[in-house]
Amino acid sequence: MLFAHLFVPLQSEKQTIMPIRVPEKLPAIELLKEEGILLPPPAPDSKVLRIAVLNLMPKKIETETDLIRLLSASPLSLELHLMKLRSHVCKNTPAEHMEAFYRNFEDMHAEQFDGFIITGAPVEHLEFEQVNYWPELSDIFDWARTHVTSTLFICWAAQAGLYYHYGIRKYPLPEKMFGIFQQTPLLPKLPIFRGFDDVFPMPHSRHTEIRKEDILRVPELTLLVESEQSGVSMVMAREGKEFYITGHSEYSPWRLDTEYKRDLGKGLPIKMPLNYYRDNNPEKGPLVTWRAHGNLLFQNWIKYYVLT
């Protein structure tokens, strides 16, 4: 597969540029160029960290863009590999896109990766075993433990991974956890929190939760972040080889707005996202408060847990 190079411009052109390599002609390239993430000359030879992404979100291009935006800020050289499931056909992304930029898990399972990101999926209303791709996803969970240095499980994937590996249940919420909520790191001296403030904001968008008491009963799990409003937000296992994040630090500024207006348009019982709009007025747009810590979270993960 051919790769293009992306980088975040630095203040001095003389500084070393360490880009992220992404599949050539990926639509995210043009979207990110509009934000000032540009195409440079080929990077000098260096260690390239291979990052795989299993993108389970319906709108693949949006999620790709959100993740590449954060990964491209790394001072290290990364290479992105997009994974898909043979047992599930995406209905919201063109088949041509999936064919051009994604590979089936079975075509990647012999490879080793430094980092692995598994996204959320809109299947919270189902029991895990009822999800049509659960058997293949279970195989991927097992594979990651022998072929990946460190894995990030995001939102539903965090719940799924905790259930598969540790038997942690998910519970339905009386209403959607929707908005930006303040988080408290419980072990602030861990490298994953290097440079973090005492509290930090994180977007959440989910209908289910995992519970603190269930996490604390499993000695292999370490509760890292919790919130008075959004509950358990981050769990670590295997000394940082696995991170389970129930929120969305990767979300772009308008993602919650898009979800809110989508659900309103469908006539679903949705409340306005909390702590999100300026003056709580959707007409004024979002007040973005989470991007700095989102970038820091991903950079710390790459630097201290992916790079070995």
pLDDT by 10-residue block (mean), the chain, 308 residues? 48 47 81 66 68 94 93 89 90 87 95 97 95 97 98 98 98 97 98 98 97 98 98 98 97 96 93 97 97 97 95
Tell me what pLDDT residue 134 has.
98
CATH (domain of 254): 3.40.50.880
The angle formed by the CA atoms of residues 306, 237 and 56, to the nearest 5 degrees, is 70
Cα distance between residue 238 and residue 300, in whole Å: 17
How far apart (Å, rounded) are the C-alpha atoms in residues 99 and 70?
Answer: 24
Burial class (CB within 10 angstroms; exposed 0-12, middle 13-18, buried 19+) of 88: middle
Instruction: Write down how long the chain is.
Output: 308
Helix ranges restricted to H, the chain = 27-33, 60-71, 95-101, 105-108, 134-147, 156-166, 212-216, 255-265, 291-301
Q: Which residues are catalytic?
A: 155, 248, 250
- Give the model's pLDDT for residue 37: 66
Domain that holds residue 57: 3-306
What's the confidence (pLDDT) of residue 44?
A: 58
For the entire predicted model, the pTM comes to 0.90
Axis-axis angle for helices 134-147, 156-166 (nearest 10): 80
Q: Count the domains in the chain.
A: 1
Instruction: Tokens for 292, please give them.
Output: 């700095």
pLDDT at 59: 87
Residue at 290: amino acid letter: W
Closest CA to 109 of 52, 163, 31, 152: 52
